[in-house]
Amino acid sequence: MGSWGLSLAPPAMLTLPLYLQGIINLGVSENKLCFDLLSWRLSQSDMQRVEPSLLQYADWRGHLFLREEVAKFLSFYCKSPAPLRPENECEKEAVCVIMCASVKYNIRGPALIPRMKTKHRIYYITLFSIVLLGLIATGMFQFWPHSIESSNDWNVEKRSVRDVPVVRLPADSPIPERGDLSCRMHTCFDVYRCGFNPKNKIKVYIYALKKYVDDFGVPVSNTISREYNELLTAISDSDYYTDDINRACLFVPSIDVLNQNTLRIKETAQALAQLSRWDRGTNHLLFNMLPGGPPDYNTALDVPRDRALLAGGGFSTWTYRQGYDVSIPVYSPLSAEVDLPEKGPGPRRYFLISSQVGLHPEYREDLEALQVKHGESVLVLDKCTNLSEGGLSIRKRCHKHQVFDYPQVLQEATFCVVLRGARLGQAILSDVLQAGCVPVVIADSYILPFSEVLDWKRASVVVPEEKMSDVYSILQSIPQRQIEEMQRQARWFWEAYFQSIKAIALATLQIINDRIYPYAAISYEEWNDPPAVKWGSVSNPLFLPLIPPQSQGFTAIVLTYDRVESLFRVITEVSKVPSLSKLLVVWNNQNKNPPEDSLWPKIRVPLKVVRTAENKLSNRFFPYDEIETEAVLAIDDDIIMLTSDELQFGYEVWREFPDRLVGYPGRLHLWDHEMNKWKYESEWTNEVSMVLTGAAFYHKYFNYLYTYKMPGDIKNWVDAHMNCEDIAMNFLVANVTGKAVIKVTPRKKFKCPECTAIDGLSLDQTHMVERSECINKFASVFGTMPLKVVEHRADPVLYKDDFPEKLKSFPNIGSL
Amino acid sequence: MQSWRRRKSLWLALSASWLLLVLLGGFSLLRLALPPRPRPGAPQGWPRWLDAELLQSFSQAGELPEDAASPQAPHGGSCNWGACFDTSKCRGDGLKVFVYPASGPISETHHRILASIEGSRFHTFSPAGACLLLLLSLDAQTGECSSMPLQWNRGRNHLVLRLHPAPCPKTFQLGQAMVAEASPTVDSFRPGFDVALPFLPEAHPLRGGAPGQLQQHSPQPGIALLALEEERGGWRTADTGSSACPWDARCEQDSGPGQTQRGETLPNATFCLISGHRPEAASRFLQALQVLAALQEMSPARVLALRQQTQFLWDAYFSSVEKVIHTTLEVIQDRIFGTSAHPSLLWNSPPGALLALSTFSTSPQDFPFYHLQQGSRPEGRFSALIWVGPPGQPPLKLIQAVAGSQHCAQILVLWSNERPLPSSWPETAMPLTVIDGHRKVSDRFFPYSTIRTDAILSLDARSSLSTSEVDFAFVVWQSFPERMVGFLTSSHFWDEAHGGWGYTAERTNEFSMVLTTAAFYHRYYHTLFTHSLPKALRTLADEAPTCVDVLMNFLVAAVTKRPPIKVPYGKQRQEAAPLASGGPGPRPKPQAPAPNCVNQIAAAFGHMPLLSSRLRLDPVLFKDPVSVQRKKYRSLEKP
């Protein structure tokens, strides 16, 4: 080989092995690049092959632009036709330069290698060029921050699985005890290791990968399977991962026990026992998808594992430790290969299909009997015997001479049989769910995957083995709508929890996390509701049908700035309402002090003044500690026209509808077809969708929601525009409860006594435009129009009835 | 010499350039060239193996499908549902339960529980036709123990119900019998087979039961966050404000304003920590897990949800012995039903699985209660169900008025009198079906399969309604599909003089019932009326026909815990006097039901579910002084 290099010192530089030894490694990147390029070329098939392990920094990729520069330089420099002998005096110069062997031409040997004449000129030019190149490259690095930060690969070690350290297990090393069937989280799991953690996340540590061999150097198992590597990668990329073994609360060995058939049981157990934090398996989690082995196929991993948790595919009720183990799916590698787009609801060609091969003859007889009885609607498939291509047979199924594509054929069926094989857990379950086919699980005592959190009743039909002959009639009794829901649910389970190893790993950790931090656990709905349902549904925060006792009364909150006279009148009026239990004045003026105590009206209930830090509209909806009742009456400081009967009746109506906004004048939103947007309507219409909060009753919880949970920037937007806080409140309540407002009494507007008719019209118009803008803005922030339109209002039972006024409870109910 | 100088200058230039290079780029190059070291904060993850692509799959192609199957199911020591329960006997009409008669004298409680089960829809008198045989082991004090019953059959399809921890030594092997008992131990409890019951006090009410004590949705500000159960029934409270439990240190007991409350009353706290029989373990638990910290972290929304759920669960499943027993049977029935069991939503949200029958439907949107959670809406059409009792005139005018409603989908006439069916009926565009009834008042609430809409407008042949009234009432019903929306009302009241409940149909400022002779409600209430009410109550309604209104109102109020809704009724104003004294009302001779009817029904329910309302829902512009042209429901206001 004609590779060589000029140059030598600085003496500390590394030299390279074998035939590349002529090159001196400068230890700087450019040097490495050059080297890379060389090794690339040398490893081409027309060269003698270089084993990767022989190359240092085998994984070094470098930057493309640098490579290009080097390549340019090389091709420029190496063009030099003058041959150069190794013993050239450049050595004497003792200048360290890498010399790239003529990548392009060096195959034929030294003839094309550049050679220095006694003249130093070329040599110096070369030197300077290199230095210049270095400068340019460095400069580019400086102004290329992205390229330096971008890839996380810089931090990740790149190695080959074959290079992992080997650990020899002496034949007499300790073996863990067999799994303890009585283990539960509170007996075998040390929750104290997880500690209190503000994020409520368990920390998971993964042991480094080792290769275990016995005394004779025979491996204990395959080092790691593709799936287990994916699984550990997923955990390592997740929020659960920690590399600090002392902070971890859950330990995942890198010993791969996914398939019991690929390992030696006793030696694997010994390997587990020598893990540094094993401690009888406490807080250790093992993943196993194919447990047991011939002939009796245990339903849990046979490897003795002491107290370790087992995430297993194929548990039966006999081996599953409820609340301790996690039942997981058997991953179907087909999921990654085949892309089955979701199929909408509607009739499918077959009612019931069985696509498993290698079924026990007894089961197959039963299924074929069904086919005979029900004809076309049942399809029983088997493997294809007459296919020429053996490799594809896993993707084909046959019925007599008809060939079907698997798993595509599953999409043609409403129900798909998932029968127990030698093992309870079957990978076909995953294929069936992917196809949106409702699995009919016939495997007595099988613990369905993730059944601790997933509601399988919504996605599958479980039929006892002895009822197999009745399966058709059982399925026929299910209403069509339920079938369609099950199909949607099946597909959703696959997408969320089955489709990749990562999904399986994260669901498993989430389940364990939920047990350790139950108060932060994911709810049933979050686990089970498909996204479409989550979007469409509303979970009313005040769902309990409760009528608050009248004795509790309400707290009136008056927002005021400086209209003291009007404020005092409001206070006096409101204090006449029998159910008022407290009055809270929110003093929103920072430049002026509220009047002295002695000046305030004397009323029969406690009166409190709260001073605010800033003049903001949202102060009226703040959840003040002073609010002790559930009912809040928000009232402006100029609303003096409401009668005592009117207010008391409003409170009584609120008690019957404590989860709604109960107000007086109603307003409506309308779709403006010309402008293609929402419009605010204050005309006298037959419908209402909002009430003004100038005077409105509502539950104090909505104050908390308004202040802390208002979506988007609405709260700040309202404060900045000093308008539409009432519309925002209407949106918020309707969105969270899914219910309409209640308008009480005939009142249509709050007539302000000081207002004059002048400018009324133009003011009105600007007002309407602004209010319409608010509705459009809020609808876009909420992403929907939550307001509900109704055609009713609430009046007293005998309102305007032909009945003696003096016998009516609320005779003075007010006017328009 | 010259060359030496030249060399020197070159050397200098070169060195300078090098220096520059090192200064400029040294640092960044160094960073790149140095072998990667983990950055602090960014954990060094699982390595990306160079040859990850070459790794083999955990299961070799062919291994999964080629599994040789064995037809033997895996076996274990204890029972599970599939192995120890024979569902073949339970086909048809669901769970049928036979209760072993007690041997020897029985206590009053035992007797009443037996009566309660016998009155329920589960009961059968024939042990041969039953799919579940129930062995009651009830009496805590007497220590009476049952002996092995006749049809024991190793306990197959048996349920042993122990409401109180049994003082009996086990006189016989339980074998394959299911056990429903309080506080089962983890070792003996078979999940999915046995049933865990709440631990009931001996004085637990048999039926009805006190409603939950929660009066507010959200916790009162300033009350204690946590109450700890102490020995001898006391409670120690820990306050929210106290920093008794710093994150990492131990809890300093008694440093906060904790106080011990004695006696029977429950503590006034947001959370209660219950630790079984070991209070001292609770305080250790508290220290170690910093429960307080966790609870303080909990968002108000979650606290609110949890508070309400406790009340719902109490009311739905725990508040009486009868509810506990029925819940147990319902759980077992769900296991038998398989795919037609209650979906989880029906168990876990009001009104609960005992009142949302899975025999009606397994799709939540078919019920009136779950439209919000399902994102669905009630249907836009209704069926009018007109009951024609004696004297039996075909209600022609009424049919016309109802058929005029844009929301009407069908009209059903329930012919329930001695006269023969008329041969001809008025011509309407509306499909009209005539059902020949059984001359019983309870027929009115039978779930006829011919009713195809969710909403039913229940009418009496003598009712008189205008199309406007029907339209408006239906639009209101769509907003409240779980309630009854009616035109005429009546009230119950506590009659001090007689020490019982009274009934009045007089017009008052409030009401608690609407007359079902003109009311909208969901068709589910027909199913509930027919299949969930005790037989005795339905018999009562048949014997005293005026009671049927009261009974239906009791039923709906017990389910919804809300009063019914009243909408305006035009005719009412014409009446010179309230309905009771006669006149051209929908019921010309309404007999006020005997007051003992309300009392009997209340006794059977175990409590008074009726609630009063003080409002009426009117159209938005009802009787407002504006042009009639603006109003949608004009004829409602016609004199």
Q: Which ipTM did the prediction report?
A: 0.85
Strands B382-388 vs B269-273: parallel, antiparallel or unpaired: unpaired
Tell me the range of A486-495, A765-774, B306-315 where mean pLDDT is highest. Answer: A486-495
CB-based contact A132 B71, cutoff 8 Å: no
| Mean per-residue pLDDT over chain A, rounded | 83
Q: What is the pLDDT of residue B573?
A: 44
Q: Do A528 and B344 touch (CB under 8 A)?
A: yes
The candidate with the shortest Cα–Cα distance to A323, out of A421, A202, A185, A190, is A185
CB pair distance less than 8 Å for A701 and B622? no
pLDDT per residue over A197-254, tens digit each? 778 899 999 999 999 999 998 999 888 999 999 999 999 999 999 999 999 999 999 9
Q: Using CA atoms, how far apart are residues A316 and A309, in angstroms rounded to an integer?
A: 16
Q: Is the dihedral of CA B6, B9, B14, B15 positive or negative?
A: positive
- The confidence score (pLDDT) of residue B190 equals 83
Say if the Cβ atoms of A656 and B344 lie within 8 Å: no
Determine the residue among A249, A791, A808, A813 to mutate to test chain B binding: the one whose Cβ has the most chain B Cβ atoms within 10 Å.
A791
B500-504 vs A554-560, strand pairing mode: unpaired
* Neighboring chain A residues of B45 at a CB cutoff of 8 Å: 156, 233, 236-237, 241, 243
**Chain B contact present for A260, CB below 8 A:** no
Q: Which residue has the tokens 């934090």?
A: A277
Tell me the shortest Cα–Cα distance from B422 to chain A, in angstroms: 37
**Are A394 and B39 an interchain contact pair (Cβ–Cβ within 8 Å)?**
no
- Report the SS3 class of residue A474: helix
- For the cut 90, the answer to whether the pLDDT of residue A111 exceeds it is no
Residue B142 has pLDDT above 60, yes or no: no
Q: pLDDT higher for A59 or A625? A: A625
Instruction: Using alpha carbons, list the distances in angstroms from residue B43 to A147, A229, A237, B47.
Output: 21, 18, 10, 11
pLDDT tens column, A524-572? 999 999 998 888 888 899 999 989 999 999 999 999 998 999 999 999 9
Residue A728: per-residue pLDDT: 97
Beta bridge partners of A275: none
Min mean pLDDT across A106-110, A668-672, B37-41, B468-472 is at: A106-110
**What token pair was written down for A595?**
């009047």
User: Per 3-state DSSP, what percentage of chain A is helix, strand, and coil (rounded to 5)?
Assistant: 35, 15, 45
User: What is the band of A120 on the pLDDT scale with cuts at 50, 70, 90?
Assistant: low
B16 CB near a chain A CB, below 8 Å?
no
Contact B561 A134 (CB under 8 A): no
Q: Which residues of B touch A153 (CB under 8 A)?
A: 48
Q: What are the pLDDT digits (tens) for A418-454?
A: 998 888 999 999 999 999 999 999 998 899 999 999 9
How high is the pLDDT of residue B146? 60
pLDDT of residue A660: 97
Q: Which long-range contacts (CB under 8 A, 24 or more apart) does A382-391 make?
A: A382/A357, A383/A357, A383/A358, A383/B65
Q: How confident is the model at residue A34 (pLDDT cuts 50, 70, 90)?
A: very low
Most confident range (mean pLDDT) of A60-69, A99-108, A578-587, B55-64 is: A578-587
Encode pLDDT of B222-261 as tens digits: 777 777 766 655 666 665 444 444 333 334 444 333 444 4
Q: What tokens does B345 get?
A: 């939503």
Cis peptide bond upstream of A295, omega within 30: yes
Closest CA to A418 of A375, A391, A448: A448
% pLDDT > 90, chain A: 59
Residue of B2, B49, B70, B248 for testing the chain A interface, max A β-carbons within 10 Å: B49
Mutate: best of B8, B64, B363, B468, partner A, most A CBs <10 A: B64
Which chain B residues in 67-126 lie under 8 Å from chain A, judged by CB atoms? 67-71, 73-78, 80, 82-83, 87
Residues 571-600 of A with CB under 8 A from B: none
Q: How confident is the model at residue B338 (pLDDT cuts 50, 70, 90)?
A: confident
The pLDDT tens digits of the residues spanning B390-409 come to 777 888 889 999 999 999 99
**Of the segments A318-322, B73-77, B508-512, which one has the largest average pLDDT value?**
B508-512
Nearest CB to A258; choose among B58, B618, B621: B58
Tell me whether residues A458 and B343 touch, CB distance under 8 A. Answer: yes
Q: Please tell me if residue A143 touches chain B, with a CB cutoff of 8 Å.
A: no
Q: Convert the pLDDT of each residue in A137-148 to its tens digit.
A: 665 655 554 444
Q: Terminal CA-to-CA distance of chain A, rounded, Å? A: 104
For chain B, first and last CA: distance in Å?
Answer: 131
Of A43-57, A90-104, A273-287, B436-450, minimum mean pLDDT range: A90-104
Q: Does residue A25 have a pLDDT over 50?
A: no
Distance CA A290, CA A425 (A): 8
Mean pLDDT of all residues in chain B?
79
Phi, psi dihedrals of residue B501, rounded to the nearest 5°: -85, 145
Nearest neighbour of A322 by CB, restricted to B56, B191, B616: B191
For the stretch B560-607, pLDDT in tens is 999 999 999 976 544 433 333 333 334 434 455 666 889 999 998 988
Considering the candidates B67, B549, B618, B624, report the single residue annotated as catalytic.
B549
Pairwise CA distance, residues B69 & A419, whole Å: 10
Probe site for chain A from B24, B34, B67, B85 (most A CB atoms < 10 A): B67
Q: pLDDT value at position A141?
A: 55
Answer whether B183 touches A (CB < 8 Å): no
Cβ(B144)–Cβ(B123) below 8 Å: no
Domains and CATH numbers, chain A: 159-327+500-533 (no CATH), 336-496 (3.40.50.2000), 552-794 (3.90.550.10)
Among A384-388, A534-538, B587-591, B612-616, which stretch is predicted with the lowest mean pLDDT?
B587-591
Q: Check if A522 contacts B (Cβ < 8 Å).
A: no
**How many residues are listed for chain B in this entry?**
639
Q: What is the pLDDT of residues A700-725, one digit of tens each?
A: 999 999 999 999 999 999 999 999 99
Mean pLDDT along residues B361-375: 91
What per-residue confidence (pLDDT) applies to A150? 39
* pLDDT value of position A401: 85
Cα B89 vs. chain centroid, distance in angstroms?
A: 29
| Alpha-helical segments (H) within B532-571 | 535-543, 547-560
The answer, yes or no, to whether residue A124 has pLDDT greater than 80, is no
Q: Please indicate whether residue B549 is annotated as part of the active site.
A: yes
B499 at A interface, C-beta within 8 A: no
* Residues A299-335 pLDDT 10s: 999 999 999 999 999 999 889 998 899 999 999 988 8
Across A43-47, B181-185, B517-521, which has the greatest mean pLDDT?
B517-521
Reference A55, options A65, A75, A41; nearest CA is A41
| Nearest neighbour of A797 by CB, restricted to B78, B509, B619 | B509
The pLDDT of residue A70 is above 60? no
A173 touches chain B (CB under 8 A): no
| Least confident interval from A15-29, A126-140, A176-190, A395-409 | A15-29
Q: What percent of chain B has pLDDT over 90?
A: 32
Q: Give me the pLDDT at residue A452, please.
A: 95
Which of the residues A188, A230, A317 would you substitute to probe the B interface, choosing the one with the greatest number of B C-beta atoms within 10 Å?
A317
Interchain CB contact of B303 with A (< 8 Å):
no
Lowest mean pLDDT among A369-373, B143-147, B372-376, B455-459: B143-147
Question: And the tokens for A57?
Answer: 């920094």
Q: Please state which of the ranges B143-147, B175-179, B351-355, B539-543 shows the lowest mean pLDDT.
A: B143-147
- Give the pTM: 0.80
Interface of B with A in 309-338 (CB under 8 A): 311-312, 338
The predicted-structure confidence for A480-536, as pLDDT tens digits, reads as follows 999 999 999 999 999 999 999 999 999 999 999 999 988 888 999 999 999 988 888
Instruction: Tell whether the model's pLDDT for residue A772 goes beyond 90.
Output: yes
> Residue A3: pLDDT above 60?
no
pLDDT in tens, A721-742: 999 999 999 999 999 999 999 9
Q: Identify the weakest region by mean pLDDT among A505-519, A641-655, B105-119.
A: B105-119
pLDDT score for A391: 54
In residues, how long is chain A?
816
- CB-based contact, B23 to chain A, within 8 Å: no
- Quick one: pLDDT at residue B241? 46
What's the mean pLDDT in A2-21?
Answer: 38
Model pLDDT, residue A676:
94
Q: Is A245 on the interface with B (CB under 8 A)?
A: no
Q: In A, which residues are within 8 Å of B629 by CB distance?
A: none
Tens digits of residue pLDDT in A157-210: 568 888 899 999 999 999 999 888 888 888 899 988 887 677 889 999 999 999
Of A241, A427, A658, the CB nearest to B43: A241
pLDDT band at A20 (very low <50, low <70, confident <90, very high): very low
Tokens matching residue B471: 């339209």
Residue B289 has pLDDT above 60, yes or no: no
Q: How far apart are CA B259 and CA B195, in angstroms?
A: 37
Residues 723-762 of A with CB under 8 A from B: 737-740, 743-744, 746, 748
Residue A613 buriedness (CB in 10 A; 0-12 / 13-18 / 19+): exposed
